[in-house]
Chain A
Amino acid sequence: MKKIDIEKLEKKETYQLPEHFFQDFEEKLNQKIQFSKTRKIPFWSYSVAASLVLLISIFFFMDREMFSATPPKSLVENQLKEISKSEEIKIKDENILLSNFEKKEDKIENNEIEKVSTYQTFSKEKKSPQKQISPSFVDLEVVDLEEEMLDNDVYLEIYD
């Protein structure tokens, strides 16, 4: 059987190598080292960065506290809902008031046509202040109030 002893072989570099590789390599490496030197972050920059982060976080927490002093969004929404509800009630009451007025008008028309005409003019004039009647009034109270107003009308008319 054939035998081979590699230690008796001549040791040659058999791999290809570009010309002037080692010379070029030194230049390339020195360039890289110079580049890495210029890119080196100075020591004090870490402390500057840390203090900046601290400042930003302090401002962030202060902002949060300020926001928490104002009512939360949900509370504002609830208040708005309540306001709109009360507005609805107001409008309903106004409608009821108007309808009652109309009924009353019919009655008066049958009995005292002249008075009604004065009442009508008065009611037209007084429509806007009626809007200010509190929504808490119940319908009956509103009717009573109207009747009083009507009496007043009459009284005023007499007085005039």
Chain B
Amino acid sequence: MPKVETEIISLISQIKTKEKGFNLLLKTYKVRLYWHIRRLVVQHEVAEDVLQNTFLKIYQNIEKFKHQSSLYTWIYRIATNEALQEIQKMKKNLSIDDEQMPDYLEGKVQNELKYTADEIQVFLEKAIQKLPEKQKLVFIMRYYDEMPYEKMSEILEMSVVTLKTNYHYAKNKVEQYILNNL
């Protein structure tokens, strides 16, 4: 377990230092969690809401953390669930199904990217949004967060073999998309 995690857990376990522990947790993970969420939901405003809900849930439920996994794994799972729930809400509000959602998110990418972004980066982001939900999740966790398959398995409750297969398919689809559009 990383030193920071141990420190956060020990601070949070005492009522007097709970606030301090939570602030340390916030400083340590906010950036990583934000980018994980942002790649899933694309739009900044949505990502901000999801991140806020994630930290509120962490604050309210930190006593329930049972140390069965690392703190980061636990936090990451909350963030992922919050983001997926938000995508479900978006589908409901927009009255679109699972097949239409990737097209909708792909359409949102262009407005959210920096003007300085490379053409290949633009296609990469668009290709990620075109992936089915599960493959997109696996791809983001593996490609951007460079998370080990074992940790991914804990968070997504999927076998390592399934995760590897999903990543392989996702990577091929992304590369094919870029090649077709370049």
Chain A residues at the B interface, C-beta cutoff of 8 Å? 2-7, 9, 11-18, 21-22, 25-26, 28-29, 32-33, 36
CB neighbours of B38 from chain A (8 A): 15
Complex interface: chain B residues within 8 A of A32 (CB):
52, 56
Known: A16-B113, A22-B31, A25-B48. Is A6-B174 also a contact (CB below 8 A)? yes
12 contacts between A and B (CB under 8 A): A3-B179, A4-B175, A6-B124, A6-B174, A6-B178, A12-B118, A14-B113, A14-B118, A14-B124, A14-B125, A15-B113, A18-B44
Q: A6-B124, A6-B143 are in contact. Are A15 and B44 (CB under 8 A)?
A: yes
**Interface footprint category on B:** 35 or more
Can you list, as one digit per residue, whether each of B11-36 has a CB less than 8 Å from chain A (1) or not (0)? 00000000000010011001100110
Q: Which among B23, B124, B171 has the greatest number of chain A C-beta atoms within 10 A?
A: B124
**Interchain CB contact under 8 A, B121 and A14:** yes
Closest 7 CB pairs of A and B: A14-B117, A14-B121, A4-B175, A14-B113, A15-B112, A16-B114, A29-B55
Given contacts A4-B179, A17-B44, A29-B56, contact A12 B143 (CB under 8 A): no
Most chain B beta-carbon neighbours within 10 Å: one of A2, A26, A29: A29
A22 to B27, CA, bound (A): 9
B138 within 8 A of A: no
Q: Given A13-B35, A16-B113, answer yes or no on A2-B44 (Cβ-Cβ < 8 Å).
A: no
With A6-B171, A25-B51, A29-B26 given, is the CB distance from A11 to B144 under 8 Å? Answer: yes
